[in-house]
Structure 1
Amino acid sequence: MKIAFRADASTEIGTGHIMRCITLADAFKGTGGQCYFICRSIPQSLQDVIKSKGHSFFQLPHGPPFIAREDDVAHASWLGVNWEVDALHTAAVISGIEPDWIVLDHYALDHRWEKQVRGPQCKLIVIDDLFDRPHIADILLDQNLGRSRENYKDLVPRDCQVLAGPEFALLRPEFEKMRAISIERRKKPKLEKLLITMGGADKDNVSGWLIDFFEEATDLGLLSVTVVLGASAAHADSVKMKASTSVIDVYVLQNVNNMAELMKDTDLCIGAAGSTSWERACLGVPSIIFSLADNQKQIAVDLDKHKIAKQAQLWDAASLLEIVKHLRKAKNLTRLGINAAKLVDGLGAQKVVEHVESYNVKAI
């Protein structure tokens, strides 16, 4: 089976789309699938990751710059070109691959692009979480909490399979492997080690602000703070300099490949309410979350509402301090971890592959 992925990673989009597509591609490869990535905007570091895992990579050519129009979808500009240009470029690559499935993970594209790119014998998986534009998908995946087919009833064909909820969260295998160890570790709750992970770019330097916050909150009694930065972190040098002169123990790591281990060994994580929310949940890690993008706002609200994580307001030091003090109580820390662990089992990618294989069997 051949599977072509169309996704990007940029300052606006972040790296989450590419990372979850790589996870799904790895799962397909594990069952004999051949995977091909078609990208327009992606840093070299992620290109290298894709190739190192044995997947093929195609870089789309430059095109005329994006020109806004009245019929654009909400995030059309994130593509860098108009959708017709991207469809033409992508279709040229697709024709050479002749995939059985296309996986589309891009907020800037909708049913118009899909009609131009997919062939008559090719099936389509759309990964989405905004439910703000129509698709002609055969399978639609939305891994967010509280999602259901109802969110997409007017946006996809009636026979489209909607895989909704965190049970389908696309996590790398190491999270499921470390799940039991991480949960067991939390039976004796404490708040000594803190992990900060604000996503790949952290363009607003939330990591730097948090270091300043914990320097001033000396009465919290934390032993160490570890900050994880992505390869494309915009303020990496500033954060590293701040950590080197800090009065508290701050360790800065960049472009790590052992996130599951780092999360397993931490007592509390502070992060963005993006795809890493499901990684933390799988390991039962108590979390404080910030909404850093439009698609994270509802996730943050829902996770807080269901007592799976505590939502904090960005740049509000007073409220953050109250939340951290609340979680210094063992029972509060334990409750968050238990609720989180119930949400995600780490087998989402395998479940999606099983649905695709089942779909293929039915189509024969």
Structure 2
Amino acid sequence: MKIVFRVDASTQIGTGHVMRCLTLADALSEAGAGCYFIYREHEGHLGALIEQRGHQALALPLQACKPDETPADSLAHAAWLGASQQEDARECALLLQTLQPDWLIVDHYALDRVWESQLRPYCRQLMVIDDLADRQHDCDLLLDQTYGRDTQDYIDWVPSHCELLCGSMYALLRPEFTHWREYSLARRKDARLQNILINLGGVDKGNVTGQVLDALHSCSLPSDCAITVVMGATAPWINEVKKHAKTMPWPTQVKVGVSNMAELMANSDLAIGAAGSTSWERCCLGLPTLMLVLAENQEMIANRLSSQGACTFLKVDNLNTSIHHLLSNFVPESLTRMTLECLHVTDGGGAKRIIQHLGLSI
């Protein structure tokens, strides 16, 4: 089976879309499929990482993209594409003619039915990965891994024959999270605040990481506390954050482009993180989280997980006060409560469930 992904990463888009597609591609590859990624060469693209993971990366050059006039009814995220949908589809069609994939999988807020319909003749079946439920799609299968998402949210946006996979039971997590789950949950039976993990996504273009470190600096944390900051290799504030880490009252290390995220999460007692796709990773491992919304599409995730009790929702514009208040009044029982609620969200088996719908199994 041959699978082609159309997905982008950039300093504006972030890395989450590519990372979740890579998780699915890794599972498909293990099941015997060949995976190809079509991406545009935005600043902060992850073409090298895609190839490092053993998949073929096919670039659409930025300099070749001269968008048509933006229509009045263009999508909310149209500017993220770097071309018009029609131009992007034409460029992709040239590649797909040769590849002739069994599945074309698209994960992009700037693409909808206009693009999908144009590429229908070049693939056997088409899958969409989304979490907005805000535009029309022409697809055979749609995945939205958001906790609490209902198939009714997409009924008016997809063809009648489209199969809908909705909810966090389908969350795309790498196998390492399932591997570390039992260990992670076992060590949380003795709740404590000794290791804090900070991860504000792969890019964090606004340097919210620095604001979090500022807020923690004035908190009364245990004397034996240690802080770990994880950043993506394309994050623009890495050097500033490293300098900031050296001024912290507790040992604070900054890790860049890690390959053992599940292990780091499993050995952390509290995370301060964004409400993106890493939310499902933290829930799988029962990791209590102070959650921040760094993009509009993250609000639904944060609100639903907070209502469930699986995290505590913080606002970026009130970080110093809110973090100081929460940690000054910290009790171990609050960590235990969050861990228990996380267990209702996902078990880490989403990738296996999805590839069965694509006609493969592992």
TM-score normalized by the length of structure 1: 0.95
| One-letter code aligned to 1:63 | C
Partner of 1:32: 32
Please state if 1:318 is matched with 2:301. Answer: no
Report Cα offsets for 1:199-220 as digits up to 9, x if no partner: 1111111111111111111356
Distance, in Å, in 2 between the alignment partners of 1:34 and 1:221 is 50
Report Cα offsets for 1:298-339 as digits up to 9, x if no partner: 11111101101110011312122223345x312111010111
Question: 1:358 and 1:2, CA in 2 relative to 1: closer, same or farther beyond 3 A?
Answer: closer
Quick check: 2:4–2:104 contact (8 Å CA) kept in 1?
A: yes
Alignment of 1:91-102 (within 5 A): 91-102=93-104
Distance, in Å, in 1 between the alignment partners of 2:194 and 2:249 is 16
Report Cα offsets for 1:114-139 as digits up to 9, x if no partner: 01112265201100000110001111
Partner of 2:60: 60
The one of 99, 116, 119 aligned to 1:117: 119
| One-letter code aligned to 1:208 | G
Question: 1:304 and 1:68, CA in 2 relative to 1: closer, same or farther beyond 3 A?
Answer: same
Quick check: 2:200–2:209 contact (8 Å CA) kept in 1?
A: yes
Quick check: 1:168–1:351 contact (8 Å CA) kept in 2?
A: yes
Alignment of 1:227-238 (within 5 A): 227-238=229-240
Distance, in Å, in 2 between the alignment partners of 1:32 and 1:122 is 18
Partner of 1:189: 191
Question: 1:56 and 1:120, CA in 2 relative to 1: closer, same or farther beyond 3 A?
Answer: closer
Partner of 2:264: 262
**Where do 4+ consecutive residues of structure 1 move more than 6 Å?**
none
Quick check: 1:47–1:57 contact (8 Å CA) kept in 2?
A: yes
Distance, in Å, in 2 between the alignment partners of 1:41 and 1:177 is 34
Q: Which runs of 5+ in 2 are unaligned?
A: none
Report Cα offsets for 1:56-77 as digits up to 9, x if no partner: 1100132114643202111111
Partner of 2:6: 6
Report Cα offsets for 1:327-352 as digits up to 9, x if no partner: x3121110101111231111101100
Distance, in Å, in 2 between the alignment partners of 1:133 and 1:346 is 28
Question: 1:90 and 1:248, CA in 2 relative to 1: closer, same or farther beyond 3 A?
Answer: same
Partner of 1:134: 136
Partner of 2:109: 107
Alignment of 1:345-364 (within 5 A): 345-357=347-359
Report Cα offsets for 1:261-308 as digits up to 9, x if no partner: 100100000000000000000001001100000110111111101101
| One-letter code aligned to 2:203 | A
Distance, in Å, in 2 between the alignment partners of 1:143 and 1:107 is 15
Partner of 1:332: 334
| RMSD (CA atoms) | 1.7
- Match of 2:283, SS state, is helix
Quick check: 1:193–1:267 contact (8 Å CA) kept in 2?
A: yes
| One-letter code aligned to 2:325 | E
Question: 1:42 and 1:150, CA in 2 relative to 1: closer, same or farther beyond 3 A?
Answer: same
Stretch moving more, 31-40 or 49-58: 49-58
Stretch moving more, 167-176 or 64-73: 64-73
Report Cα offsets for 1:8-65 as digits up to 9, x if no partner: 0012211000000000011111111011100013567732221122211100132114
Stretch moving more, 122-131 or 211-220: 211-220
Distance, in Å, in 2 between the alignment partners of 1:279 and 1:42 is 27
Distance, in Å, in 2 between the alignment partners of 1:349 and 1:186 is 26
Count of paired positions: 358
Partner of 2:23: 23
Partner of 1:362: none
Please state if 1:76 is matched with 2:78. Answer: yes
- Match of 1:14, SS state, is coil
Partner of 2:220: 218
Quick check: 1:66–1:77 contact (8 Å CA) kept in 2?
A: no
Quick check: 1:191–1:222 contact (8 Å CA) kept in 2?
A: no
Q: Which runs of 5+ in 1 are unaligned?
A: 360-364
- Match of 2:105, SS state, is strand
Distance, in Å, in 2 between the alignment partners of 1:280 and 1:104 is 25
Partner of 2:344: 342
The one of 285, 290, 294 aligned to 1:292: 294
Quick check: 1:68–1:77 contact (8 Å CA) kept in 2?
A: no
Stretch moving more, 222-231 or 282-291: 222-231
Partner of 1:179: 181
Stretch moving more, 54-63 or 298-307: 54-63
What is the percent sequence identity of the aligned residues? 43
Report Cα offsets for 1:174-193 as digits up to 9, x if no partner: 00110000000101100111
Quick check: 2:5–2:104 contact (8 Å CA) kept in 1?
A: yes
Shift of 1:248: 2.6
